[in-house]
Structure 1
Amino acid sequence: MTDYDEVYVSPRHLAGSTAIGDPGLQPALDAGWTISHDDAGNAYLPSPDQRIRIGYLPEGDDDALWKIAAYQQPFAKPRWAAAFSSDCPTEFVTAFTTELVPLHEPEGDKFLTGGIGYRLHPVSTVLQPLLDAGWTLATNFHPTRPELRAPDGLAGAWFDRGNLDPDDELTTNTTRWGMWGGPPRARWHAVFSTHTPTRLITATAAAVADPAPVLRWPGELSRMTRERATITPVRPPAPTPLDMARSRRPAPTLQTVSVPRWTTSTPSAPLPGPFRPASRR
């Protein structure tokens, strides 16, 4: 496998995270949001009005690699919060941020609404992409917490109908909605508090259910991925006669300029004011 630059991994809920957070941050960067970093290398992308905050936290104080929160006012308590753990496939975060960023308007509240009263939430509507992909209701779920399971039994998604503490939802993994993947000792999770717009959860579920394999560098693959996922090397196309003829020609001497790829380790001034969603214990 090391002879190949990239590999395809499926199912994607066993792919693990990418080594950098670029894809999950890109929707906000494309919208003109400004990135900053702290001295530890964590990255922060607030919306221009500070009412949405995305944090990519490889050096955070818990296992949440991504924390995302939305606020009615910049200095208010979060209206809702979401978190994705360290091994969560980055494609799922990207699906969430791709759906979230266009909802932001300077004078609008679309990104704060859409979390219907939890007692009325039809799981079959919000998590329909998983049902369409053949996920079924787990037989051993708690009466107030129905859970869907992937056909291989190595991923799930749940909805808690119980009475949850609003503050705990913002700072812990005891939340209204959640998803997970992997075996018990190598499991990722994604959690969403009660008022998270359900369209964001549905977009994440669609990314989880997508049968298309995802690309990874061999060095990104965890032991769990190597043991349980299907891994297919990306083979380069066979060279054409024109390619072979060109390879025999002497290469011209060119003056080049190196342009480094953007990563989350690029130094920048820290973001002023409160920029970090509530930490999870």
Structure 2
Amino acid sequence: MPWCSREEIREVSNDAQQIYDAIRHGRLIIHAHAHDGWTTVAVGTYLDGPSIHLHGENHLRTETTQYDNPATAIAEFERLYGDAVRPGPATATSTERHAEQARTLLASGAADAQPPLATAESVEMRAARADDHEALLKDFLESHGEWEKWRIWSDETTHAVHESLVLRAEFVHEAGPDDTQWRIAAYESPVGERLWHATASATVPVEIMRVLLDSLASEDAAKIAAGSQVSEAAISEATRPLADIGWEHTVDGRWIRWQAPADHLSGVQFDAFAAQSPHSPLPAWTFWGGGAADTPGWTLHFSPHAAASVLQDVAFEVAHGLTQRQLESRSRRLNALSRPDIRAQPAPRAGSARSR
């Protein structure tokens, strides 16, 4: 901001900090985001105030327009940014992730630990980068003969299509960390209407995507494609693995949220408003992890009528698989820190070995 005075810079940064705090503490709910070619833009609603459009990232984030209701704000946002619109908040920037990590360490009193223990966020983010989604796609197609690989005119995207043509998975090869890499779609018939869909960011841990793909291939394709009606029974079935492992849920207006216990940075959210609005671009289900709820390292979204069996399989992996891997990683790190340094031990003197 070279055109701003020092006082104006402070004012802009202070406003950006207030916006960030409102998002982090759940006072400002982000409905959707997009990239306008230069920076990130978003649309959200204050719990006790207006709906707004946001422009920019980090200390440059500003409020640009206010609206009386979410529907008007979202409709105008879609008109302005079209196909670039993505549901939910944008993936946390590196600055936001570093700030959240520092805050977590300070809150736990571990800021002075040498070396610091790996947090759940760092464990999940490393796993997401190390795992090979390209290999996952290749393995899935090789092990499920009823799915066929299709390439379109562009080499940027590969489609995995079930032989019934009612289930399809789209994979974007060069997706950036903040972009959607997987798109799942279920159709009424080979030429029928889309019944439900899912999207996954490029940072989703590969084991979660493996479970999702295997779940699509585990039952009759037509049954999976038909999906499930939105009902209390379907919600209960989809989230049973979370309840079984002790995740607590809260109801906040239109949202039901399940939060992982202790310091495991993952959760699930159900949006009742989006579930009752089939044409809304907002997801009904959001699985997230790798950071706080408002600054997740990865997100996985499902539309209202997603098959409850698929949701349940994903919920089980999020609740049990990631938690177990985090505990194992933490245990290995603790063992490494407590293991004596063999090099520091004095060499045994000749003849000091005990006879047997």
- TM-score bracket, normalised by the shorter chain, equals 0.5 to 0.7
Distance 2:204 2:155 in 1: 21
Q: How does 1:119-130 map to 2 (within 5 A)?
A: 119-121=231-233, 123-130=235-242
Distance 1:83 1:19 in 2: 18
Query: What amino acid sits opposite 1:150 in the alignment?
Result: A
Specify the alignment match of 1:36 in structure 2. 150
Unaligned residue ranges in structure 1 (runs of 5+): 1-7, 215-228, 236-281
Specify the alignment match of 2:260 in structure 1. 150
Among candidates 178, 190, 209, match of residue 286 of structure 2: 178
Kindly tell me: are residues 44 and 202 of structure 1, through their superposed partners in 2, closer, same or farther at Cα, counting changes over 3 Å? same
Distance 1:156 1:54 in 2: 24
Specify the alignment match of 2:189 in structure 1. 73
Distance 1:100 1:79 in 2: 14
1:185 Cα deviation after fit: 4.0
Query: What amino acid sits opposite 1:199 in the alignment?
Result: S
CA shift digits 1:186-241 (9 cap, x unpaired): 52111111111100000001111124328xxxxxxxxxxxxxx74848x9xxxxxx
1:194 aligns with 2:310: no
Unaligned residue ranges in structure 2 (runs of 5+): 1-117, 337-356
1:167 aligns with 2:279: yes
1:167 Cα deviation after fit: 3.1
Specify the alignment match of 2:202 in structure 1. 86
Specify the alignment match of 2:161 in structure 1. 46
Counterpart secondary structure, 1:167: coil
1:110 aligns with 2:223: yes
Distance 2:175 2:194 in 1: 19
Query: What amino acid sits opposite 1:20 in the alignment?
Result: H
Distance 1:112 1:55 in 2: 15
Q: After TM superposition, which residue ranges in structure 1, 4 or more long, deviate above 6 angstroms?
A: 8-12
Answer whether contact 1:160 1:177 (CA < 8 A) is retained. Answer: yes
Answer whether contact 2:186 2:226 (CA < 8 A) is retained. Answer: no
For the aligned residue pairs, the C-alpha RMSD in angstroms reads 3.1
Distance 2:218 2:234 in 1: 25
Distance 2:223 2:235 in 1: 22
Query: What amino acid sits opposite 2:304 in the alignment?
Result: T
CA shift digits 1:251-280 (9 cap, x unpaired): xxxxxxxxxxxxxxxxxxxxxxxxxxxxxx
> Which structure has the highest helix share of the two?
2
1:177 Cα deviation after fit: 1.4
Q: What TM-score, normalized to structure 1?
A: 0.62
Distance 1:178 1:135 in 2: 16
Query: What amino acid sits opposite 1:127 in the alignment?
Result: T
Among candidates 205, 208, 212, match of residue 96 of structure 1: 212
> Which one has more relative contact order, counting CA pairs under 8 Å at least 6 apart?
1
Counterpart secondary structure, 1:130: helix
CA shift digits 1:142-175 (9 cap, x unpaired): 322110011125211011222543233xxx4x12
Distance 1:124 1:52 in 2: 25
Kindly tell me: are residues 120 and 134 of structure 1, through their superposed partners in 2, closer, same or farther at Cα, counting changes over 3 Å? closer
1:181 Cα deviation after fit: 0.8
Distance 2:198 2:249 in 1: 24
Identity of aligned residues (%): 23
